[in-house]
Amino acid sequence: MSTISDSPDTHDLEVHATSVHRVENAMKESEAAHREAVFVASDVHVSYGDHLAVAGVSMEIMQRDITAIIGPSGCGKSTLLRCFNRMNDFVPSARVDGTIRYHGEDLYDSKVDAAEVRRRIGMVFQKPNPFPKSIFDNVAYGPRINRMKVDLAATVEEALTRAALWDEVKDKLKKSAFALSGGQQQRLCIARALAVKPDVILMDEPCSALDPIATARIEDLMVELKRDYTIVIVTH
């Protein structure tokens, strides 16, 4: 564990590599030596107008790890998470200072395509937010808007399978996503993120609105996904 910053209200904002409850890091030292840093953040400050939300964060996020950003409510966890896929760009008053490098490239360089950043760095939000569409169309949405030349049916099946949802919905693909339970909706949102073939998955307290059984399934799923994806999660 390492404290990466103190927020303006003196609460500690902490980062833990692979330290989410029930998540175990099985990577051997020999494998770890060959991992690279996906993100390197240096002296990152985030402000909303005159309000300083995140102060002086420096950290590395390693490839195919689960990294947890931990701290009390209001300490800037979600604000920091949104820096990694430039979601703060959508907040007019937001200002990000310092440097965040993604595979060595300055994420906030003027030449960087923010839309491509968000395709490669997917996000799952605190509450399930399926679109008012069918289950199939929810997962197919990303490949369609990104004009990906893929077999949509195969892509949807693969994403739902990886999100541990396919067996539960394979006969209901034309039904509304709103007919699913809360836990199923959150796994659908994970499948939607996976469908565009991301490099990184950001999760903003993905289990906070779920019951213990659904929470356990999401946590088990993260362990499976870390074999192929870098995961950054905000939690308490």
Q: What would the DSSP string read from start to end of 136-202?
A: HHHHHHHHHHTT--S-HHHHHHHHHHHTT-HHHHTT-TTSBGGGS-HHHHHHHHHHHHHTT--SEEE
Q: Where are the alpha helices (DSSP H) in the chain?
A: 29-32, 77-83, 114-120, 135-145, 152-162, 166-169, 182-194, 212-225
pTM confidence score: 0.85
91 pLDDT higher than 60: yes
Q: What is the pLDDT of residue 177?
A: 98
> Who wins on pLDDT, 200 or 15?
200
For the segment 124-145, the average pLDDT, to the nearest whole number, is 96
> Who wins on pLDDT, 9 or 157?
157
How far from each other are the two terminal CA atoms of the chain, in whole angstroms?
14
Residue 123 burial by Cβ neighbours in a 10 Å radius (0-12, 13-18, 19+): buried
Range of the domain at 126: 2-235
20 pLDDT higher than 50: no
What percent of the chain clears pLDDT 90, i.e. is strictly above it?
79
Q: What is the pLDDT of residue 13?
A: 65
Here the tokens at position 120 are 């490669």
The CATH number of the domain holding residue 156 is 3.40.50.300
Q: What is the pLDDT of residue 174?
A: 98
Q: What is the pLDDT of residue 5?
A: 37
Select from 194, 169, 170, 164 the least CA-distant residue to 180: 169
Question: How many domains in the chain?
Answer: 1
Per-residue pLDDT band at 34 (split at 50, 70, 90): low
What percent of the chain clears pLDDT 70, i.e. is strictly above it?
86
